[in-house]
């Protein structure tokens, strides 16, 4: 079958009462407000069109879609004309054919004619429409004024803009405006001189363009086209799968030629992204084929030695025998493992099963430990479920949005775009962040209030907002009475009402004017000042990665409950999850104290269920968290670890401590795509497979379970779930899975919230949101609708306790960390793509005052020192950060940001306090001693011994 794009109905879907009309003699019933074009498309009548596409509002510029309507004069455009009852429309008449041909004749009088060698050949709407209108002669000739001399813009690493191929339909401009919300593109000039321009005609790379790809997707010709299509040709088939970057969980059509991925195009039916994407998911998949990928298993006796490539059999046998040896020598609990939030639910489930069933202990942890573990704790305590309350569509009904400790336009860009769209429609915004993130003020978006608090004072600020809400009588008392635990509410209300919690009392502590805190609290509590207005809270790691991370999550939950903002669309408490499957890895029992479905290991009924299914007794004692495993290793009681798809050396706090722990172990097994930083301390390396090479499911931040589909064979030979099974069987577990769907069936069998999930259902519906079971046969877009999962919502008193990490004369500045749009997490993937064009190094953002005091100029190397360590990077002087605060990203291993971060962590979950470190900054000459020695050790450790040539 030849390649086709997804069906394009021309204009967006509408919802309204049904209207019936006649199109070309055919009776059609559609919702009121639907365009004639869309109504026709719904009965497979394809009215020619060029400027219309169903992701954008109708525009009416190309004039190809003209129709005749009985009783109306002229030839209205079908894209901009809504249906009306009993309308009689004709889409093909002699007159219409002549008009369309006349317009097409004009187009082609100013268009290149080399269709056969065009990169969009076969995938070009202009070509299709020229064919459909039967254009045979361009009577104007080809020698009139034209735009054929325009130079290509090849500055963007992923796509090319060829102005000669442009038909000025404005689809790219509108996609940038309406879908992405960056407004980077415009039509420059007017009349015949009109042309597409990125920013002030600066070229795509230098412009404000964020390379989300919406313009490329919208382009009907090859004016904007993926470089991979230019290189490889058009795709011949498409497989729908889920992005492996952030927790938004965008679904894509992986468009293929054979086993070669040509491009990733966001899937319009994807419930999380509705056909939108960001630069990472859309373009930055080249790491999957990167030459750095390790494709053969490797083993070494000591980390001083070079790696030795071995067969899979040898590697697996070695792992099994080492683990068993260590357990025999040091005890059952001397080994453990780390599951990956980048792997599938099925793989994560199997790793914890390997540990619980095969290792015989609960020493399993996951990266959520260092990101959203306080979310799990906080929301389970207050609401009863360790997950966000809404779906992403919910934001479309929010009237006021409070964003705290999150930077959606960089960290969760597709959600960021949807949020900006809602803000452009008039919803109000409150931003609580030490740094002036883009949302605070960007084109057509401005926060009503930005509260740039001092890092580490979230709880004090949120409690002060609660003080305002309670003392000013803004509590939704009926809601609280009906839905929440009254006694706990009373205690909490009394606590927050104390004068010491008022915005005025903490003004100096948090560094935000009390009046702003009061106004922001009122705005949130009153639903944006609109009667019946709905308030939603979105938060990220700026909430959780603190010594009071769990308290902050609960303080947020308190605010939402007090204002009645849980249990309906447009409201809720919404953690923005960092990694593609961090929700899923938590759901799958990756924590040492919980079996899948967040059930405590000490609960014997639950344990009995698993024991019966798995045929083995399970340990009733919670196992070790990552940092406890590392502590135990330095103490000499923990000796072996299996780490799948995580780079704890780079991502976990206090790098020297992590290195010491790993160095103290006898068998460190790392499974990854690349020789990551942790592998520097590994004894066995098992090559990983990419999301393109396996079947499975990811669960995004809205609890949505979506299929990951294999589009190519694993280059390393096995999908990750198969590797886990090989290890398990080498350890004698006798697993017999032949497809991940069987793993999901097991999950469903053992986990009540997943009872209704299976691959057939996912195939039919595209995705489902857990809980999905007999009580919620359709899944659960919005949680806690009639009552909280725990019964009554629980208010928790959140007393502000300052972190032990304090500034002082030696370390007068506060360092906070974050990320940037083009890079992802520790950068293992994105650094191996052309995304480096946007962010080739981590920089230290410092306020001009602080820089001047220290004699630092923009771009200078500076040393960054904390109580834990020292590193160096280059300064970026900006007033995005307040005086006294510095900021950096952690995408590059050379930066070693976690050499600086301390051992302080959340009181409830040990989530590290990445977001607050007292530091000093001073001019320096370049990389620190630690960075140099680290680099040397890494190089030494990454050597691979050449394989003996086969004779």
Partner 1 sequence: MTRVFISRDMASMALGADAVADAFTKAGCDVVRTGSRGLFAIEPLVEVETEAGRIAYGPVGPEDTARVLDGSHPNRIGQIEEHPFFSGQQRFTFSRCGVIDPLSIADYAANGGWKGLEAAYALSPQAVVDAVKASGLRGRGGAGFPTGIKWQTVLDAAADEKFIICNADEGDSGTFADRMLMEGDPFHLIEGMAIAGHAVGASHGYIYIRSEYPFAVETMRAAIARSAAKIAPFTLEVRVGAGSYVCGEETSLLESIEGKRGEVRAKPPLPAIEGLWGKPTVINNVLSLSAVPFILSEGPQAYADVGFGRSRGTMPIQIAGNVKNGGLYEIGFGVTLGELVNQIGGGTASGRPVRAVQVGGPLGAYLPPSMFHLPFDYEAFAEAGGLIGHAGITVFDDTVDMARMARFAMEFCAAESCGKCTPCRIGSTRGTELIDRIMAKAPRAAGTLETLPQIRNARTAARTHDEEIDLLRDLCDTMKHGSLCALGGFTPYPVLSALDHFPEDFGASPALTEAAE
Contact residues for partner 1, defined by CB under 8 A: 58-63, 66, 74-75, 77, 79-82, 95, 98-99, 102-103, 106-107, 109-110, 113, 136-145, 167-168, 170, 186-187, 189-194
Residue 433, strand partner residues: none
Q: How many CB atoms lie within 10 A of CB 151?
A: 9
- Which CB, 145 or 478, lies closer to partner 1? 145
Whole-number minimum distance, CB 913 to partner 1, in Å?
Answer: 45
- Which CB, 156 or 170, lies closer to partner 1? 170
**Which residue bears the tokens 């069906």?**
7
Whole-number minimum distance, CB 29 to partner 1, in Å?
Answer: 21
Q: How many CB atoms lie within 10 A of CB 233?
A: 16
CA dist 597 and 591 (Å) reads: 11
CA dist 736 and 729 (Å) reads: 9
DSSP assignments along 526-595, one per residue? TTTTSTT--EEEEE-HHHHSSTTHHHHHHHHHHHHHHTT-SSSTT-SEEE--SSTTHHHHHHTT-STTEE
Report residue 185 as tokens: 């593109």
DSSP assignments along 220-261, one per residue? SSSSEEEHHHHHH---SEEEEEE-SSSTT--EEEEEEETTEE
- Region at 170 (left for phi over 0; alpha for psi -120 to 50; beta for the rest): left
- Which CB, 100 or 271, lies closer to partner 1? 100
Task: Label residue 258 exposed, middle or buried (CB < 10 Å: 0-12, 13-18, 19+).
Answer: exposed
- Which CB, 15 or 136, lies closer to partner 1? 136
Dihedral (Cα; 709, 714, 717, 719), 10-degree rounding: -40
Whole-number minimum distance, CB 105 to partner 1, in Å?
Answer: 8
- Which CB, 169 or 248, lies closer to partner 1? 169
- Which CB, 114 or 231, lies closer to partner 1? 114
- Which CB, 84 or 321, lies closer to partner 1? 84
Whole-number minimum distance, CB 177 to partner 1, in Å?
Answer: 10
- Which CB, 422 or 625, lies closer to partner 1? 422
- Which CB, 127 or 362, lies closer to partner 1? 127
- Which CB, 188 or 292, lies closer to partner 1? 188
Whole-number minimum distance, CB 133 to partner 1, in Å?
Answer: 12
Whole-number minimum distance, CB 203 to partner 1, in Å?
Answer: 20
Whole-number minimum distance, CB 272 to partner 1, in Å?
Answer: 28
Whole-number minimum distance, CB 75 to partner 1, in Å?
Answer: 5
- Which CB, 443 or 883, lies closer to partner 1? 443
- The H or E element spanning position 723 is helix 720-730
Whole-number minimum distance, CB 191 to partner 1, in Å?
Answer: 4
Whole-number minimum distance, CB 423 to partner 1, in Å?
Answer: 15
Whole-number minimum distance, CB 104 to partner 1, in Å?
Answer: 9
Whole-number minimum distance, CB 132 to partner 1, in Å?
Answer: 16
- Dihedral sign (CA 397, 399, 404, 409): positive
Residue 793, strand partner residues: 484
Question: Using only C-alpha atoms, what is the Rg of the chain?
Answer: 29
Contacts of 256 (CB under 8 A, 6+ apart): 235, 236, 237, 238, 239, 262, 711, 712
Whole-number minimum distance, CB 108 to partner 1, in Å?
Answer: 10
Report residue 431 as tokens: 């931003």
Whole-number minimum distance, CB 143 to partner 1, in Å?
Answer: 5
Contacts of 770 (CB under 8 A, 6+ apart): 587, 699, 703, 705, 753, 754, 757, 779, 780
- Which CB, 81 or 547, lies closer to partner 1? 81
With contact defined as beta carbons under 8 Å apart, do 11 and 79 qualify? yes
DSSP assignments along 675-705, one per residue? --SGGGG-SEEEE---GGG--EEEE-TTSEE
Instruction: Count CA atoms within 13 Å of residue 802 on its CB side.
Output: 9
Whole-number minimum distance, CB 53 to partner 1, in Å?
Answer: 15
CA dist 643 and 653 (Å) reads: 17
- Which CB, 114 or 760, lies closer to partner 1? 114
With contact defined as beta carbons under 8 Å apart, do 678 and 643 qualify? yes
- Which CB, 113 or 329, lies closer to partner 1? 113
With contact defined as beta carbons under 8 Å apart, do 68 and 95 qualify? yes
With contact defined as beta carbons under 8 Å apart, do 535 and 520 qualify? no
CA dist 894 and 100 (Å) reads: 59
Long-range contacts of 150-154 (CB under 8 A, 24+ apart): 150/195, 153/198, 153/203, 153/204
With contact defined as beta carbons under 8 Å apart, do 463 and 470 qualify? no
Whole-number minimum distance, CB 375 to partner 1, in Å?
Answer: 38
Instruction: Count CA atoms within 13 Å of residue 172 on its CB side.
Output: 31
- Which CB, 105 or 236, lies closer to partner 1? 105
- Which CB, 79 or 243, lies closer to partner 1? 79
Whole-number minimum distance, CB 142 to partner 1, in Å?
Answer: 5
- Which CB, 30 or 673, lies closer to partner 1? 30
- Which CB, 15 or 139, lies closer to partner 1? 139
E strand intervals along 113-267: 159-161, 185-188, 195-198, 224-226, 237-242, 251-257, 260-266
Whole-number minimum distance, CB 117 to partner 1, in Å?
Answer: 11
The 3-state secondary structure of 749-807, one letter per residue: HHCHHHCCCCHHHHHHHCEEECCCECCECCCCCCCCCCCECCECECCCCCCCCCCCCCC
């Amino acid at each position: 079958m030849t390649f086709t794009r997804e069906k394009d109905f021309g204009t967006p879907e509408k919802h309204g009462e049904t209207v019936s009309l006649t199109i070309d003699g055919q009776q059609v019933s559609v919702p009121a407000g639907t365009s004639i074009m869309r109504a026709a498309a719904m009965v497979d009548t394809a009215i020619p069109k060029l400027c219309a596409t169903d992701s954008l509002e109708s525009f009416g510029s190309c004039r190809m879609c003209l129709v005749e309507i009985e009783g109306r004069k002229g030839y209205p455009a079908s894209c901009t004309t809504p249906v009306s009852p009993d309308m009689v429309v004709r889409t093909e008449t002699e007159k219409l054919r002549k008009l369309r041909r006349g317009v097409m004749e004009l187009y082609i009088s100013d268009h290149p004619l080399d269709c056969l060698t065009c990169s969009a050949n076969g995938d070009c709407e202009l070509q299709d429409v020229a064919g459909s209108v039967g254009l045979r002669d361009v009577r104007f000739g080809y020698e009139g004024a034209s735009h054929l001399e325009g130079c290509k813009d090849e500055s963007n690493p992923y796509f090319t803009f060829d102005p000669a191929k442009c038909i000025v339909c404005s689809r790219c401009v509108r996609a940038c405006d309406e879908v992405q919300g960056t407004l980077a593109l415009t039509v420059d000039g007017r009349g015949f001189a009109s042309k597409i321009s990125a920013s002030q005609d600066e070229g795509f790379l230098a412009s404000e363009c964020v390379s989300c790809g919406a313009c490329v997707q919208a382009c009907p010709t090859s004016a904007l086209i993926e470089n991979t299509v230019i290189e490889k040709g058009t795709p011949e088939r498409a497989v729908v799968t889920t992005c492996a970057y952030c927790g938004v969980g965008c679904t894509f059509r992986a468009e293929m030629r054979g086993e070669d991925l040509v491009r990733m195009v966001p899937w319009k039916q994807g419930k999380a992204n509705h056909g939108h994407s960001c630069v990472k998911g859309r373009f930055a998949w080249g790491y999957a084929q990167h030459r750095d990928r390790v494709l053969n298993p490797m083993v070494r006796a000591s980390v001083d030695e070079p790696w030795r490539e071995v067969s899979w059999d040898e590697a697996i046998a070695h792992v099994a025998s080492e683990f068993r040896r260590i357990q025999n020598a040091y005890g059952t609990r001397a080994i453990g493992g780390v599951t990956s939030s980048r792997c599938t639910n099925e793989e994560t489930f199997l790793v914890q099963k390997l540990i619980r069933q095969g290792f015989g202990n609960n020493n399993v942890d996951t990266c959520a430990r260092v990101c959203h573990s306080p979310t799990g704790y906080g929301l389970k305590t207050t609401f009863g479920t360790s997950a966000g309350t809404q779906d992403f569509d919910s934001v479309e009904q929010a009237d006021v949005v409070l964003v705290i400790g999150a930077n959606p336009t960089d960290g969760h860009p597709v959600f960021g775009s949807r949020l900006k769209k809602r803000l452009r429609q008039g919803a109000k915004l409150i931003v609580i962040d030490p740094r002036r993130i883009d949302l605070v003020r960007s084109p057509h978006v401005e926060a009503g209030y930005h509260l740039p608090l001092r890092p580490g004072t979230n709880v004090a600020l949120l409690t002060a907002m609660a003080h305002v809400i309670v003392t000013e009588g803004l509590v939704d008392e009926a809601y609280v009475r009906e839905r929440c635990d009254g006694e706990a509410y009373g205690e909490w209300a009394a606590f927050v009402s104390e004068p010491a919690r008022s915005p005025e009392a903490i003004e100096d502590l948090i560094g935000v004017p009390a009046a702003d805190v009061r106004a922001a609290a009122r705005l949130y509590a009153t639903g944006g000042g609109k009667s019946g207005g709905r308030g939603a809270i979105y938060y990220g790691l700026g909430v959780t990665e603190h010594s009071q991370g769990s308290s902050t999550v609960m303080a947020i939950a308190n605010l939402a409950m007090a204002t009645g903002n849980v249990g309906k669309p447009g409201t809720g408490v919404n953690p923005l999850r960092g990694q593609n499957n961090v929700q899923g890895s938590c759901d799958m029992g990756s924590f040492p104290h919980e079996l899948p479905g967040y059930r405590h290991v000490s609960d014997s009924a639950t344990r009995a269920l698993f024991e019966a299914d798995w045929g083995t007794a399970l340990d009733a004692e919670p196992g070790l968290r990552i940092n406890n495993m590392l502590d135990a290793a330095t103490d000499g009681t923990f000796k072996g670890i299996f780490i799948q798809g995580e780079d704890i050396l780079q991502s976990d706090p206090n790098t020297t401590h992590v290195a010491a722990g790993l160095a103290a172990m006898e068998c460190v097994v790392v499974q990854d795509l690349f020789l990551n930083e942790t592998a520097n301390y590994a004894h066995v390396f098992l090559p990983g497979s990419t999301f393109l090479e396996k079947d499975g499911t990811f669960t995004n931040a809205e609890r949505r379970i979506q299929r990951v589909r294999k589009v190519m064979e694993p280059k390393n030979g096995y999908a990750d779930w198969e590797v886990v099974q090989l290890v398990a069987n080498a350890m004698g577990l006798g697993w017999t899975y032949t497809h991940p769907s069987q793993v999901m069936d097991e999950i469903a069998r053992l986990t009540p919230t997943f009872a209704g999930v299976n691959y057939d259902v996912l195939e039919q519906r595209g995705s489902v949101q857990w809980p999905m079971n007999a009580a919620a046969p359709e899944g659960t877009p919005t949680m806690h609708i009639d009552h909280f999962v725990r019964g009554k919502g629980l208010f928790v008193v959140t007393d502000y306790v300052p972190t032990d990490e304090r500034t002082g004369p030696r370390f007068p500045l506060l360092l906070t960390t974050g990320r940037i749009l083009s890079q992802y997490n520790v950068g293992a993937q994105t650094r191996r793509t052309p995304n480096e064009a946007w962010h080739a190094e981590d920089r230290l953002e410092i306020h001009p005052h602080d820089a001047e005091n220290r004699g630092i100029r923009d771009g200078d190397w500076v040393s960054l020192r904390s109580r834990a360590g020292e590193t160096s990077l280059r300064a970026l002087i900006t007033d995005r950060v307040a005086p006294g605060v510095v900021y950096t990203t952690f995408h590059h291993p050379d930066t070693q940001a976690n050499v600086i971060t301390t051992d302080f962590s959340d009181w409830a979950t040990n989530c590290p306090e990445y977001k607050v470190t007292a530091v000093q900054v001073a001019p320096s000459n370049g990389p620190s001693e630690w960075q140099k020695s680290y680099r040397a050790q890494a190089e030494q450790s990454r050597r691979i011994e050449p394989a003996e040539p086969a004779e």
